[in-house]
Structure 1
Amino acid sequence: MEPTTPTIEFFAGLSEELSNVSLRREVRTGKRIVVMFFEKLQALEGFNSFTKPSLNSLRLTDEEGEINVTPSSTRFIFGGDEGDELKKVECKFEIEQDDSWERFMRFMYRYADANGMEYGER
């Protein structure tokens, strides 16, 4: 079986390019918080958001299958001279179960490997 290229989608069939990801842990509750950063969204190019079915979640797909996550927040950060230029999109969600976290990390390693990204700790 051919390994599936890992993808991230807000809309069916539109792969988004992750520019960065931040993995945090809430000290008080132990919840793991993931913040994904996108510098541009295919979903916003042209009229893609009108022509493709919305997933109402974030779909992460790799050779193990799909992970569907519902963001707790999505922020659109604008800049530029007129303040109307999309600088980045910040998508945040929480993962509580250890097995879900391990599955997510396997996806992230595959995604990073396929897209020439490196994992670094601060």
Structure 2
Amino acid sequence: MSKAAIQFFRGVNEPVVPDIRLTRSRDGRTGQATFRFEQPAAIAPETMGDITGMWMVDEEGEMVTREVNGKFVNGTASALEAVYSWKSEEDFERFMRFAQRYADANGLGYSQSQDSGQTDAADDQQA
């Protein structure tokens, strides 16, 4: 099966790897993952079409969020931020399986913030 990918347009994998931050409620049942893409291909001038969601696709299927916002600098799109929320432990576990596959496919590692309870996905090549 194809490797894990993120898509803003169905069938078109986004090549830019995002910074991902996770937060969870104290009981662990609910939470969200915030994805920030700097200069993603999806907002390049030659890209046609409206962004209506972010799809996370892997061998188990797909998850989608419609909460996608553009960030602008001097009137020019510079980044996309998407938030995926879960409402159950099962949804969180499914998200984490996708996140592990996506990390493996893109050479990423995880780091856990001691104070905030947040987890960051970071590129292994960065210092």
Q: What TM-score, normalized by structure 2, do the two folds share? A: 0.73
**RMSD of equivalent CA atoms:** 2.4
CA 1:114–1:28 in structure 2 vs 1: closer, same or farther (change >3 Å)?
Answer: closer
The answer for the alignment partner of 2:100 in structure 1 is 109
Picking from 4, 11, 14, the partner of 1:13 is 11
Quick check: 2:31–2:85 contact (8 Å CA) kept in 1?
Answer: yes
Correspondence for 1:65 among 33, 50, 61: 61
Matching of residue 77 in structure 1 with residue 75 in structure 2: no
Give, as a single letter, the amino acid of the residue that structure 1 aligns with 2:4.
P
Distance in 1 separating the partners of 2:108 and 2:59: 18
| Runs (5+) with no aligned partner, structure 1 | none
Q: Which runs of 4+ in 1 moved over 6 A?
A: none
Matched, 1:25 2:24: yes
Q: 1:103 to 1:29 in 2, by over 3 A?
A: closer
Question: Whole-Å Cα distance in 1 between the matches of residues 31 and 46 of structure 2?
Answer: 34
Unaligned runs of 5+ residues in structure 2 are 114-127
Does structure 2 conserve the Cα–Cα contact (< 8 Å) formed by 1:37 and 1:90?
Answer: yes
The TM-score, its normalising length taken from structure 1, stands at 0.75
Identity %: 28
Q: Deviations over 1:42-99 (max 9, x none)?
A: 222234333xxx673221111122222332xx332333xxx24444221113111211
Gap change, CA 1:31 and 1:89, over 3 Å in 2: same
